[in-house]
Structure 1
Amino acid sequence: METEPLLLSTSDGVATVVINRPARKNAVTQAMWVDLAARANILSADPDVRVIVLRGMGDDFSAGADIGEFDTLRGDATSARAYEATNSAAFAALRNCTVPVIAAIRGICFGGGFGLAAACDLRIATADAQFAVPAARLGLAYPQDAMGDIVWAAGPQMARYLTYTAGRIDARAALSAGFLLEIVEAERFDARIGEIARTIAENAPLSVRASRAAIRAALSHDAEEAALAQAAGDATFLSDDYAEGRAAFAARRTPMFKGR
């Protein structure tokens, strides 16, 4: 097993988290679920981080939870519930990030890997990507909160198909369902991910965070989240970045946003 199953790098406001178990198609162990949740929470609170990219090492995004652990760590109802809690915490950490999260998907994106991608804001894939939620083949249930991510990301019809049949879909079907933003040629994939991430990172962080909060509130129809989104939006008008944006527009120069 790789000594560092999760890799982290940051550059110019872009944090990249890599699931680093290519020999196991980036299957996620219980320890990795815990680590992923912790890292996402830390990055979300870091004022220097403006966007997160989640990807897998090598040719695959992630095969999901490591089935090799199921007999020992998920072998009965009690341990299965405890294991599921670590899944849910990782999904929630991505879902609740204050900054946008991009899933960069190559190859296999199955089960818990699909759940991680569904919890992200944007999903971009290569044409060879394959998607599945095989819980029905394993006799287990998918976490309810994570199912909400799948319904939002892929739509209720596709969520039903994937979970009822445990069937696979290709990148084109995922794009048609709205799960993917784009399908990108393999040779342009890294450049395109970098382009989108840099564009987000260069924009006004408070504006991006306010938009993210407003979109979340619109999807959830939750009054508390709507209030938080309104407050985030109001805060932009009091910010130095709002003044910088106006000044840069008037001077026809590139704005330099500070996130305050």
Structure 2
Amino acid sequence: MTDGIEFVRDGDVARLTFTRPEKMNAITYGMWAAIPGIVAEIEKDPSVKVLLLTGAGRHFSAGADISEFRDLRSTAEGAATYDKAVDEAVQALASMSKPSVAMIQGNCIGGGCQLSVASDFRFAAAGARFGITPAKLGIVYHFDSTRRLVELVGPAHARYLLLSGNLVDAPRAREMGLVNDVFPAEELEASTMEFVRTLCARSQVSVRGMNRIIEKIVSGQRVSDSEVDDIRAAAVHGEDYAEGIAAFLERREPRFTYR
């Protein structure tokens, strides 16, 4: 496994943890480059239903490791290579069919915030701080990541975050729509895992099919297509649909079998 990342499977849940607490979990080029492969493993592993992202120690991630920039981004070619690794990591996470949940404490800044926005859900400790800081570095944010941010918080909040580079606290992030919910620090793990267990208990046919349709809408698609038709037809003819209807009529919890 790449230095700075711990990846473990625990039943239905895969956990990706940034493990550079002495650097506030700053993300190195090697860590960016490793993420697409980890995502691919999760997507093909039938035992995994949800990906959980978090950081070791007090912080989620302070962003890209800027100490590498002098060597890796000192030329236009180097910057393009570095940005390609970042873009591929973010795209891999954003396009997952299985849901991803970011559990955030402390600083969630720059590239760390970029990865949290690419996740499907974000839950934060009350003391967490958020910021996206390209304007402090002379960098223009990637188009797809900007689009995701605008879709999530709206253009006014996106401009505030991107153009000012200011940090916002967790309650303000929730008001903006940047996070789904905020919990006291001591309750963050339990509350996040309760939601993760809810996702695992739902029909995975429904979860993955609807997640794919949502991604198509966020990417700009405005009408249905053959892939959407196939997703919906497969669900109607699948075992989960029969089990869900039977459980509803029998007033019991469904026992979905699709993985």
Q: TM-score range by the shorter chain?
A: over 0.9
Judging changes above 3 Å, is the alpha-carbon distance between structure 1 residues 129 and 45 closer, same or farther for their aligned structure 2 residues? same
Q: Deviations over 1:151-184 (max 9, x none)?
A: 1222211111111111111111111111111011
User: Post-superposition shift, 1:223?
Assistant: 5.9
Partner of 1:24: 23
Say if 2:2 and 2:31, in contact at 8 Å, map to a contact too: no
Aligned partner of residue 6 in structure 2, secondary structure: strand
2:56 aligned partner, one-letter code: M
2:207 aligned partner, one-letter code: V
Say if 1:105 and 1:124, in contact at 8 Å, map to a contact too: yes
CA distance in 2, matches of 1:201, 1:225: 27
1:206 aligned partner, one-letter code: V
Does residue 1:51 correspond to 2:46, yes or no?
no
Partner of 1:130: 129
CA distance in 2, matches of 1:96, 1:70: 27
Does residue 1:81 correspond to 2:80, yes or no?
yes
Partner of 1:150: 149
Q: Deviations over 1:187-238 (max 9, x none)?
A: 1110011100011011110101112122223333326875433321221111
Partner of 1:187: 186
Say if 1:218 and 1:226, in contact at 8 Å, map to a contact too: no
Identity over aligned pairs, percent: 35
Taking structure 1 as the reference length, what is the TM-score of the superposition?
0.94
CA distance in 1, matches of 2:16, 2:100: 10
Query: Where does the alignment leave 5 or more consecutive residues of structure 2 unmatched?
Result: none
Say if 1:34 and 1:86, in contact at 8 Å, map to a contact too: yes
Taking structure 2 as the reference length, what is the TM-score of the superposition?
0.94
Judging changes above 3 Å, is the alpha-carbon distance between structure 1 residues 139 and 178 closer, same or farther for their aligned structure 2 residues? same
CA distance in 2, matches of 1:168, 1:230: 42
1:178 aligned partner, one-letter code: G
CA distance in 2, matches of 1:145, 1:125: 24
CA distance in 1, matches of 2:197, 2:11: 8
Partner of 1:174: 173
**RMSD of equivalent CA atoms:** 1.8
Pairs aligned (count): 259
Query: Where does the alignment leave 5 or more consecutive residues of structure 1 unmatched?
Result: none
CA distance in 2, matches of 1:233, 1:48: 23
Partner of 1:221: 220
Aligned partner of residue 153 in structure 1, secondary structure: helix
Partner of 1:14: 13
More deviation, 140-149/28-37: 140-149
Judging changes above 3 Å, is the alpha-carbon distance between structure 1 residues 225 and 125 closer, same or farther for their aligned structure 2 residues? farther
Partner of 2:61: 62
Aligned partner of residue 97 in structure 1, secondary structure: coil
User: Post-superposition shift, 1:47?
Assistant: 2.3
Partner of 1:91: 90
Aligned partner of residue 78 in structure 2, secondary structure: helix
Map 1:227-246 → 2, pairs under 5 A: 227-246=226-245
Aligned partner of residue 162 in structure 2, secondary structure: helix
CA distance in 2, matches of 1:225, 1:32: 36
Aligned partner of residue 254 in structure 1, secondary structure: coil
